Homo-oligomer: A and B are copies of this chain.
Amino acid sequence: MKAVVYNGPRDVSVKDVPDAKIERPTDVLVKITSTNICGSDLHMYEGRTNFEKGRVFGHENLGKVVEIGSAVDRIKIGDMVCLPFNIGCGFCRNCESGLTAFCLTVNPDPKMAGAAYGFAGMGPFNGGQAEYLRVPYGDFNCLKLPEDALEKEDDYVMVSDIFPTGWHATELAGVQPSDSVVVYGAGPVGLMAAYSATLKNASQVMIVDRHPDRLRLAEQIGVIPIDDSKSDPVEQVLAMTNGRGADKGCECVGYQAHDPQGHEHPNMTMNNLVKSVKFTGGIGVVGIFLPQDPGGPDQLSKQGEIPFDMGLFWIKGQHIGTGQANVKDYNRQLRDLIHADKAKPSFIVSHRLPLDKASEAYQHFDARDDGWTKVVLKSSHTP
């Protein structure tokens, strides 16, 4: 089958690879119809992780079930399903508690918890930027889609990762109706976090970025754009919140945070959040930070540390929640909002391209080229 293969830093291509297939009685085999390129793919694409050459990318996947293992009871051939980017077993201590992003079974590395399709450090699983995808523990991991699956495919595919991840940021921060919320980073996940805050009826949602296309998109969904290339974002947030700071904040950038001039400062968004959020406020961090970053800008960041404003954080009595989204905690709920026409996350999609165009899509998206906010690859679109 065809798949998007990593050849090395900033080099992917569509190649023939061995077919995905049923390996265990609990597996499900899915013919992929939509599969997104994610911001976290770029960390790997840029060579800033230990992602192995030859592996297949793609953890935001949707498609049609074409084969099921002998122990699969719920999922049927022909079902349209959306796959959470993290893979859980459903029966370990963490999965049982809904912490499916930290499954203790699926990742063979005993020092790690959690697995994902086509992801550095998250187990040996191939990605879904391909014609077919093997889904382990299919009854647990497949989200069945309703009869409008085809019609709203670009919405539902967002439920695999960025919509629940954005939602997770607001959950970690503790966003409640009427809150003021500031989001750092208006990439796809940041936009989804801001969108989630509006869906929860926050009174005021602000987003900090500097790319005009992203800020425009934010404005279209009723979010206040703050351009940090024009003035200090902290001061702007304080000015808009009577000097008190936002009730809640979301970090949607991660360790490659950089200033408008392009210099990396891994602590930039975290320290700005501490300053931008009120006393006793909450901060949700879904931007990725890594324990080691050999390509980091200085010694501290190479070992995964940041100069963090602990004093101010403590005096303000704030709290921080972090980590990958437990997609299954939210995906039924978000699917139902889409089905009921209460949410339409596909507003974010800028490009729908055939799988063949993956290489060029990666290039544009990585360069943050104007207008390339989100790419959906249509890998084999005849479901």
Contact = CB atoms under 8 A, between A and B. Distances in A.
Interface string A53-79: 000000000000000011101100000
A334 interface: yes
Contact of A318 (B323, B336, B337, B339): B323
A381 interface: no
Interface in A210-246: 243
Contacts of A320: 319-320
B307 A311 contact: no
Interface in A3-35: 24-26
Contacts of A94: 279-280
Nearest to A203: B340
**Chain A interface, >50% SS class:** loop
B91 A90 contact: yes
Which of A73, A89, A101, A267: most chain B CB closer than 10 A?
A73
A257 to B, nearest CB: 11
Contacts of A328: 96
Given A70-B71, A93-B332, A311 B304 contact: yes
A359 interface: no
Given A24-B71, A199-B201, A306 B317 contact: no
B336 A314 contact: no
Given A178-B342, A308-B306, A333-B177, A105 B74 contact: yes
Copies in the assembly, this chain: 4
Nearest to A101: B317
A380 interface: no
Contact of A172 (B92, B176, B300, B319): B319
B304 A289 contact: no
Contact of A311 (B24, B177, B200, B293): B293
Given A70-B25, A201-B337, A308 B311 contact: no
A128 to B, nearest CB: 20
B290 A311 contact: yes
A99 to B, nearest CB: 5
A316 B324 CA distance: 9
A141 to B, nearest CB: 9
A266 interface: yes
A139 interface: yes
Interface in A327-354: 328, 332-334, 336-337, 339-340, 342
Given A292-B311, A305-B309, A306-B310, 6 more contacts: A25-B70, A74-B91, A99-B317, A280-B323, A285-B314, A316-B322
8 contacts: A74-B92, A178-B334, A203-B339, A289-B315, A304-B309, A317-B322, A319-B321, A319-B322
Interface of A: 24-26, 69-71, 73-74, 89-94, 96-99, 101-102, 105, 110, 112-114, 139-140, 172, 176-178, 199-201, 203-204, 243, 255, 266-267, 270-271, 279-280, 285, 288-293, 300, 303-324, 328, 332-334, 336-337, 339-340, 342
